[in-house]
Amino acid sequence: MNIRVRYAPSPTGNQHIGGVRTALINYLFAKSMGGTFILRLEDTDRTRYSDGYVKNLYDTFHWLGFYWDEGPDIGGPVAPYVQSERLPLYRQYAEQLIAMDKAYYCFCDEERLGQLRKAQDEQKSGEQGYDRHCRNLSRDEVTRNLGEGKPYVIRLKIPLEGTTTFADLLLGDVEWKNADISPDPVLLKSDGFPTYHLANVVDDHLMNITHVMRAQEWIPSAPLHRIMYDAFGWEQPLLCHLPMVLGQDGHKLSKRHGATAVNEFRKAGYLPEALINYIAQLGCSFEDGRDLFTIDEMIELFKVEKLNKAPAVFDYQKLEWFNGQYIRQKSDAELAQLVKPFLVDAGIREGEDSAADALDLQAMPLVKERLKVLSDAAAMMAYLYRKPAMPAAAEFIPKKRDQQTALQMLRECLAVAMEDLDFSNLETMEEAFKRHAEQIGAKLGDLLMPLRVAITGARVSPPLFESMRILGQQETIERIKDSIAYLS
RNA sequence: GUCCCCAUCGUCUAGCGGUCAGGACAGCGGGUUUUCAUCCCGCCAACAGGGGUCCGAUUCCCCUUGGGGAUACCA
C-alpha cells in the first residue's frame, strides 16, 4: 500500500509548536514507510483567515527544512490542495447526504442558538449542544424556507441510538455511544463554506489519504467522521491520535506559556535542527542512549509503536540545551553566517561589511560554547566592535580587594601590554602576564580581572587573551588607559 | 455537568512478568580554568492508591484518585 498522509493546517494563526510537531510526525511516518507527505490548506474559516498566515506557513517550513511532496505551492496529482478552491465539491457531497437522509437543512439563526446555549448553561446538568430543532422539519417547510431564501446550514444526522467505533493505531478500537457524539454538527455553513468535519472527510477520501495522524484533541470528532465515511460507503483512513503538547502548568501549550510560534523561536536564535530534534521527542522516542538525531536518522528509526499516549510538557530549558548542542556542532564559518543577522539587527554591524565578516569569523571560537541562542551573540560580541561603556568602578575590583589595587593592577597590565609583545601569539601573551604576576607577587586572577573589565566592559566575558588578540595591541592599550583614567 | 483519552524521577523518556527501575534536561556537589561557559566526574530524584490474575507485578485486568481533551455556522 502506498502510504499517504497529510498535514492540514488552518491559516488562522502562525505555525506553532503543536502544529509543526504534528506535521513532523506525519512526515517521519510517511518517509519511514516510503510514503507521501501532503500539505492541505484548510482555509474554510473566512472570519479568521489571513494571507499572512499562509505566508508564515511556507516561511516556517522552508526554514525548518522538511517539506511536503504535494501541496498548494508545488501541486500534485489530486490538486487543488486548498479547500477554498474546492468549494463546489463540498456542497455536492453535503447535498448527497441530504438525499440519503443522512443530513438535513437547518434554518435556526444565531439568536435562537444563542438562547439555547444560554438556557443549557443555566440548567447545568442538562443537554449540551444543538437541540435538533430542524431535524424533523416537513419537506414542505424546508421547500418553503429554501424558496424564501432563508439562510441555512446543513447538519449531519447523528443516529440517536447505537454506537460507533473507530480504529486508532495507538489507542486501539474506541467505541462511542452515538448519544454522546456532538448532536448533529454543521457540515456546510451558511456562507457556503464547509466545516472542518465535512471538508476533512471529503478531501481525505478524494486525496487517497491512508493515515490520519493528528493531536488527541480531535478524538471526539473521529466517530462523527466515521458516520460520514459509512454514509458515503468510503473506507475511513487509519487514525492515529498523537499525544498533546502541554505547557508547564499542564494545560494545552499556548501563548501564555511563552513563545509558541515557530517564528518566535527563530527570532530568538534557535536553530531548526534543535527545534526539530526536540519537538520530535515530545511523545515519541527513537533509540535508547542517544539524544541528538538528524532528521534522516529519525526517519530511519521512526516507529509508530514508539509513540507515547500520554501528553508531554514542553520544556524550554531542554530545548535550549539542544540548541547549544547544535550551535557547538557548527563550523566557525557556518556559525558566523547564522549569527550575522542578529548582529545586524542589534545595530552592531552592517550587513555588507567584509571587515565585519572577518571579525565575526575570528570571534566565533570565543563565543561558540557560550551561546545558548544565536541572539546572545549581540551582547556577547559588542565589545569587539566598539569600546564598551564604562561599568561602575566596583566592577573592576578583584574579589576581596579594593579600588587602589584594581588601579594598580591596570597599571601593571599597561606596562606588560606596552612591551614588545606579539599579540597574535596567545601563548607568549599569556606567558608574559603570568610572569609579570609572579614578579610583582600578585595573584593572576587579581591582575587579570581589572584587565578583563577594561577590555570587555564586564567581569563575565569571552576569553581575555583571545579578545586582546582580535582587538590588537593598540586598541588594548587604549582601553587600559581609558580605564586607568576612569578609576583615577 | 456529560463523554473520551491518559498515568515511571520536577520535566522528556527507556522498560513490553523476574532489572540494584536505565538515560537525558533541570537542580546540587566536585574537577579542568584568568571570568563565564564548554567539557569530565559524582549526587539527589519516579513506578499515584487499592483490589485482583500469577510462583512472581512498574509491566496484564478492575476500581478509585489525579491530569488532560472535547462538548461552536473554529479548526
pLDDT tens for A454-482 read: 999 999 999 999 999 999 999 999 999 99
How many Å apart are CA A357 and CA A225, to the nearest integer?
A: 56
User: Which nt has its C1' nearest the CA of A180?
Assistant: B3
Residues A284 and A172: their CA atoms lie apart, in Å, by 18
CATH number for the domain formed by residue range(s) A393-487 = 1.10.10.350
Residue A228: which residues within 8 A CB-CB, separation 6 or more? A97, A102, A156, A197, A198, A201
User: For residues A283 and A287, what is the distance between their CA atoms, to the nearest angstrom?
Assistant: 13
Residue A125 is predicted with a pLDDT of 62
Q: What is the pLDDT of residue A314?
A: 97
The DSSP code for A480 is H
DSSP letter at A99 equals H
Q: How far is the CA of A295 from the C1' of B25 (A)?
A: 21
pLDDT at A440: 94
Which nucleotide does the CA of A9 lie closest to, via C1'?
B75
pLDDT digits (tens, 9 = 90+) for A81-94: 999 999 999 999 99
User: Helices H, strands E: what count in chain A?
Assistant: 19, 11
What's the CA A377/C1' B25 distance, rounded, in angstroms? 23
Q: Which of A264, A259, A302, A258 is CA-nearest to residue A280?
A: A302
What kind and span of H or E run contains A117?
helix A110-122
Q: What is the pLDDT of residues A92-150, one digit of tens each?
A: 999 999 999 999 999 999 989 988 888 888 776 667 889 999 999 999 999 999 999 99
The pLDDT assigned to A126 comes to 66
Per residue in A148-176, pLDDT tens? 999 999 999 999 999 999 999 999 999 99
CA dist A449 and A406 (Å) reads 8
Q: Say which DSSP state A394 is in.
A: G
Task: Enumerate the β-bridge partners of residue A213.
Answer: A240
Q: How far is CA A383 from CA A28, A60, A213, A432, in A?
A: 44, 33, 50, 23
Statement: A86-242 belongs to CATH 3.40.50.2300? no
pLDDT reading at A283 higher than 90: yes
Topology match between the domains A4-83+246-313 and A86-242: yes
| Strand, coil or helix: A305 | helix
What is the DSSP secondary structure assignment for residue A16, as one 8-state letter?
B
Section A365-378 average pLDDT: 98
> b/e map of A261-297 (b: 16 or more CB within 10 Å)?
bbeebbbbbbbbbbbbbbbbbbbbebeeeeeebebee
Residue A340 designated active-site:
no
> Would you say residue A287 has pLDDT above 90?
no
Taking the C-alpha atoms of residue A321 and residue A420, their distance in angstroms, rounded to an integer, is 43
Question: 3-class SS at A81?
Answer: coil
What H or E segment, with its residue span, contains residue A246? strand A245-246
Q: What grid cell was written down for A325?
A: 548542542
* pLDDT above 90 coverage of chain A, percent: 92
The DSSP code for A424 is: T
**Spatial separation of the C-alpha atoms in residues A473 and A470, rounded to whole Å:** 9
For residue A297, name the pLDDT band (cuts at 50, 70, 90): very high
Delimit the domains of chain A by residue range: 4-83+246-313, 86-242, 330-385, 393-487
Residue A214 β-bridge partners: A241
Task: Give CA–CA dist A316/A337, Å, rounded.
Answer: 25
Dihedral Cα A267, A38, A239, A87, nearest 10 deg? 100
**Angstrom distance, A1 CA to B57 C1':** 40
Spell out the alpha helix ranges (H) of A44-83.
51-64
Q: Which nucleotides along chain B are within 7 A of a protein C-beta?
A: 1-8, 10-16, 22-26, 34-39, 67-75
The whole-number pLDDT of residue A122 equals 79
pLDDT at A457: 97
pLDDT surpassing 90 at residue A222? yes
**pLDDT tens digits, A43-73:** 999 999 999 999 999 999 999 999 999 999 9
Output the CA torsion sign for A245, A181, A113, A128: negative
Q: Which nucleotide is nearest to A221 (CA to C1')?
A: B70
Report the protein residue whose CA lies nearest the C1' of nucleotide B74: A45
Burial class (CB in 10 A: 0-12, 13-18, 19+), A28: buried
Q: What is the pLDDT at residue A124?
A: 64
CATH architecture designation of domain A4-83+246-313? 3-Layer(aba) Sandwich (3.40)
Measured distance CA(A65)–CA(A273) in Å, rounded: 9
Instruction: Calculate mean pLDDT across residues A69-80.
Output: 97
Q: Which nucleotide is nearest to A366 (CA to C1')?
A: B37
Report the relative pairing of strands A172-177 and A186-188 from DSSP bridges: unpaired
Please report the pLDDT score of residue A106 as a whole number.
97
User: Binning pLDDT at 50, 70 and 90, where does residue A420 land?
Assistant: confident
Identify the active-site residue in A255, A303, A309, A443.
A255
Count of all residues that appear for chain A in the document:
488
What is this model's ipTM? Answer: 0.96
Closest residue, CA to C1' of B24: A291
